[in-house]
Amino acid sequence: MSSLSSSARSKKSALMSTLPLAGIVPKEETNAIQFIRDNPEYDGRGITIGIMDTGIDPGAIGLQHTSCYNKNNDPQQTKLVDTIDCSGSGDVLLSELPVNATWNEDHWEVTGLTGRTLKFNPQWNVEPLPGSTSSSTGEVQVRLGMKSAYELFPKRLVTRVKQHRKLLFDEKQRSHALLLRKQLQDWSLKNNNIKTATTEQIKIKEDLEARLEFLEPKTTVEGDHPCNDPGPVYDCVVFYDGQNYRAAIDVNEDGDLSCAKALADYHKFKEFDQFSTVDMYNYAVNIYDDASILSIVCDASPHGSHVAGIASAYHGDDPHHNLNGVAPGANIVSLKIGDTRLGSMETGTSLVRGLMEAIRLKCDVINLSYGEAAALSNSGRFNELAMEAVQRYGIVFVSSAGNNGPALTTVGAPGGTCSSVLSIGAYVSPAMMEAGYSMIIKNPKWASSADDDDSDKGEGSGAVITAEQQQGDSSGVDIGSSSVMQDSLTGSTYTWSSVGPASDGAQGVDVCAPGGAITCVPNWTLQKKQLMNGTSMSSPHAAGCVALLLSACKIRGIPCNPNRIRRALQNTARKMDNLTNLQQGHGMIQVDKAWEYLLAHKDDPYENVNFETCVDNRPGQPRGIYLRQPEEVAAKQVFSINVNPKFGNDDDVDLETQQRRVEFEMNVALETTAPEWVKVPDVLVLMHNGRSFKVEVDPTNLPPGLHTAHINGYDVSTTTGSDERGGAIFSVPVTVLVPLEQSNNINLGKLAFKPSEVKRYFLNVPTGATWMDVSIRDARSQSVDKDASPRLVVLHCLQLLPHSPYRDNEKERMLNLLPGQMSVTSVPVHGGVMCELAIARYWSAVGLTVVEVVVDFRGVTPVKSQLQMFAGGGGTSVRIESSLKDENVSPTASLNKWLTPIRPKAPGLISALGERDVWPTGNKKIYQLLLTYELDQPEAGSFVPRIPSLQGYLYESAYESQLVMIFDSNKKLIGVADAFRQEEIKAPKGKITLRVQVRHDQPEMLTKLKDQAIWIERKLSKEITLSAYASHEAMMIGSTTFKKRALQKGTSLVAFFAEPASDKLPKGIKCGDVLAGSVSYESSEGNLPGSGKKPGGYSIRYVAGPPVESKDEGKGKEPEVPDERSEAEKLEEAVLKLKVDHLQKLSGDDKEDAKFETLCEAIQKEHPNHIPLLIVIMNHQDQERWRSKRLKRIVEACDDLISKINQSDLVQYYGVTGYFDKEDGKACKERKAMDEKKEALIEALARKARAVSDLERENNDKEVEDLGTTFEQSLVDLKKWVDVESSNKYAVLTLEKERRLGRSGLVLKLITKLLEKDGEDTKGGICPFSKAELLNRRAEVLETMGYSHLAQNDKMW
């Protein structure tokens, strides 16, 4: 096909130029695109952006080169200058001791950890490892490792690779199954009457059926069954080429490395490779700690590459700059903090390592598009380190505000909570809606025009959310008219973009940037670009804007540090009328205006100063004034604001810095944006070490709603005219929430919403309320509006409690309402605590949106919010009362979780970590505490490890991090948990090991946790229902349980809960274990809307006591026969027993074999017929450590024992039924002696059969002939005394018999059955099997059957 003609190309270009493509990677909103057009050289070049995210694909489109590419020979033209896995999820622990590779003709080779022979590329230069002892000629030392692909691949990629591998696997399975069905059909034709088939013919059929069932299991198989896909398992080898360590990975799983890439640390040569064309997954490597750790660096999700694309992608031929990132000239460093093992969740370890690497690599900007709800703002170890990275090392730290709006105080940590971090809200513009979301944009009717006024829009008496709006006024819109349908979508923050202030009153959101884009994603997604939105996208846009400004400053030689950049962005951001300052912060970033600000203040030395502010007369010294509770806004208050100028770090004591501190004096003009209710003094004379001033806040005359203000401080010396000032040097936010009048029932009426509008109502929750029912009805009339399409409305209710993250006290629902449809949401509440009720029209919802809202408070209040029972404590009681209205009560309680505390096996070990874990200031080492716990898992099941003192805290945690790694009995990693891990760990039966790592730079902090107990939480297989009673007497006698009754307003009653019966407790429960569940008091019956009770109920716990002794009636003691032996005979027997016991002890020591033989010979000479002695001798020879060399001696020992037992006497004794008189002492004694002889005979026959089998397999005809027997004959002799097939103690003999008969299917069936209990059934037998041994045997059988695909899976498990 011919290419397009020039005319066609011109038409295509003309068409493209008319399309609204500016919103694909939006840059017009921040004027970033115009800034580059006006200043082409200020495009981020010379600036390095550290992307702390899920990792970046080095092969992703747009991330190959900077804008300097092909313009000159700038060495910085490679976009991705380094890529580092800070999470450790790609770590491969290499062999502790080097392994010798050998020279074979023209290449080196070594046996990898998977068992494959790894043949090196002949072109590689392989030298001895540094510091290693010299190897012999033809040998060189390397280090080996192994890694499962599914530990590296993101879950989405694992799913795709599994699907592909399953197609290939199923094809092989079908071909084998087809052959087996044909063989079964032939068998049926040949044996048409099964009743006449011989035993051997039946066995042939059973073998074929066993093979088919193995290929096509009737039930779903789990775990390490070969029909399950373990995924690719890669051998890794690290060697030294004389200058650099290099790593090669056997991505083809065939051992052939002749064409493999040997990669060095990425930053040295910018090399990366791909695992396969199936996955299209790129990776790089780094090698640490003298080649003891290989880090395979690959991304955990598309998120990181997309973020990097927004910040800095460069697509070359893009004349309109629609596709490029914000700063296409900037370099990128990938700092992977998303742990693949945790589904890309960040960890404390990865965050701190990310900061360390950003400092080491001299990043100018950090972008962190991550965050979590925090219990405390501006606190914790990460906050301290982030502050140091910013103020000491001059890195501008940008982070997402969070995606948890629309309610107030939903900003996440660290973006919205840490003073050192710029928090970015997410904005969506009409251009983005058109290009990114392909939406229909109508002519705006309500669209607001943004202006550049620096004042706080909608603050003070003119708050955006007015008292009239609080009461449901629709701003003059006729909600009954279809003309309202003419409204159009306008620019706004996304509905879900988190909103300030922070919980301590700080701004929360600093500025806004576009929060969506279509840009690059990793190649493994099989697409080059993707639409994503979130504050995760607005943050890298802001980081790109910062890179533009830093680039311009560097080129122009203008001084710049994070404090200058922050002020430039905040003081020049564009305010948007339709948004509160808590949504937009200071407004939309304006790069050009910020650049003008930097130019104007380039000579101002105090722009470098960090002015810290706090309210120093309030507990915790919050950073802002935040009046939220009803009592707080009921009276005028006076606050003391402390302003403290910080010159560098406190430990900077050079003469210049100290002189600046001494000489600093600034006259600060103070202003408030709401003078009607916030009063401040006119001036503050500020010196180093800080000063405070008083602020009077009088909210008593403010109407219900949200009211915000700022107290701004201006350097008088920067005043340019009588009224014009420079930008504020500091700003203290003031937020006041005035609630509606308290009522048990609140009708908000009909509410009409403008596009993207959020209406906020602050509810004074009555004391005694425990939940509220929020009824929302779509108030449109379909007959009038002729519109049956649904409207997307967001309901978000939130209360703030001290030291509790907002996520623990919120309820959010997305309601897609049809005309006339009602939805009722029951929301748990805390009485006496203000609750925000935010209702929003979703940002993309088009058309008339009108709803009716009614709030109804309900409540049955327990005097004890948490109930606890102890075993034997007589149950528990609780008084419940109703303060709001009459309620029906019917207490119910149940236990559904089982928690077991465990202590570490030994006190934890504290040690310094390696080269990746050294904080740069003072080269401070990070230490780790390792704690090891063991758990016996009686059956396969799930559990969650809990560490209440550490979990639930991340950014605000006092410790750097904690990580829990869970291993099964075969040391296979089966799960990982960290600060927020809530998913259950699926664990097999057997011993489970939990390894907990806690990190900190102060060993004494770790010492506190050396004996830390953890809890293992399991779900009960069956919920335990607790009976409720109306009186203590009824509970004790177990009479009629509590019946539903009415609880009148202002009254109370008592309910009693009996402890669970012992037979209802889970098997294996121990003293001190806890059963947890919930209790509810309300009766949910009736026709009232909502759930009828508090969602989630209240907590109830039962502490278990000592286990109940099992009722064992006993069999009675056997009658004793008087011992008529002489004392000399008793002594002789005791001495003989002592000798045999000592001989048994010697048998267990490899070094005492010679002593064993000498003593054995002496004892046997005196007591040749002593059965216990002969058993010890037989077992000694049949030990696995040397049995292969002593097979003939084993047979001889067995024969010796067999010859000493009169088998005829045994046959005669046991007779037909083996009956004996259990009341006769002599009969009991005789029976015991005969049983011991029989057991010894059976064991000797079994061990002999196994030894004979092994001799025959060695094909030593002479030795076999000398034995005078065969395996088959030995097995026949054994079967006379025991049913071999029915006992797994003799499984090794059954397997050998079926193998010799060629019945591999029955061999597989037995091995698989033994694996169900990991070989435990063979313990105590003649050949105990471990799980690993059974897996190896099964793999061998599968290979001999031609099922190599299954054998490969088995080996990898």
Catalytic residue among 344, 400, 536, 961: 536
- 730 and 839 Cβ atoms separated by less than 8 Å: no
What is the CB-side half-sphere exposure of residue 999 using CA atoms within 13 A? 26
In angstroms, the CA 370 to CA 410 distance is 14
536 in active site:
yes
What DSSP designation does 808 have?
Answer: G
Q: Residue 828's CB: how many other CB atoms inside 10 A?
A: 19
Q: Which residue's structure tokens are 């020992």?
A: 1197
Catalytic residue among 303, 321, 707, 1180: 303
Q: Which residue's structure tokens are 């070490």?
A: 689
Catalytic residue among 53, 456, 1073, 1182: 53
In angstroms, the CA 129 to CA 143 distance is 9
87 in active site:
no
303 in active site:
yes
In angstroms, the CA 211 to CA 204 distance is 11
- 955 and 922 Cβ atoms separated by less than 8 Å: no
- 1057 and 894 Cβ atoms separated by less than 8 Å: no
208 in the Ramachandran plot: left (φ > 0), alpha (ψ -120 to 50) or beta?
alpha
Structure tokens at 648: 């560098």
Residues 6+ apart with CB under 8 A from 450: 491, 574, 575, 576, 577, 587, 588
Which of 1023, 1038, 1034, 1033 is CA-nearest to residue 1079? 1023
In angstroms, the CA 246 to CA 147 distance is 17
- 442 and 434 Cβ atoms separated by less than 8 Å: no
- The widest CA-to-CA distance across the chain, in whole angstroms, is 124
Question: In one letter, which amino acid is 778?
Answer: D
Residues 6+ apart with CB under 8 A from 1109: none
In angstroms, the CA 301 to CA 342 distance is 12
In angstroms, the CA 1014 to CA 1010 distance is 12
804 in the Ramachandran plot: left (φ > 0), alpha (ψ -120 to 50) or beta?
beta
Structure tokens at 969: 């009995």
Q: % helix / strand / coil in the chain, to the nearest 5?
A: 30, 25, 45
In angstroms, the CA 587 to CA 584 distance is 5
In angstroms, the CA 673 to CA 711 distance is 7
For the CA atoms of 717, 718, 719, 720, the dihedral, rounded to the nearest 10 degrees, stands at 130
Q: Residue 227's CB: how many other CB atoms inside 10 A?
A: 16
In angstroms, the CA 501 to CA 765 distance is 21
In angstroms, the CA 61 to CA 529 distance is 8
3-class state of residue 642 by DSSP: strand
- 371 and 412 Cβ atoms separated by less than 8 Å: yes
Cα 1333–chain centre separation: 33
In angstroms, the CA 1060 to CA 895 distance is 9
DSSP string, 572-631: HPBP-TTS-HHHHTT-B--HHHHHHHHHHTTT-GGGG-EEEEEETTSTT--SSEEE-SGG
Residues 6+ apart with CB under 8 A from 978: 339, 342, 345, 347, 348, 951, 961, 962, 963, 964
Active site residues: 53, 303, 536
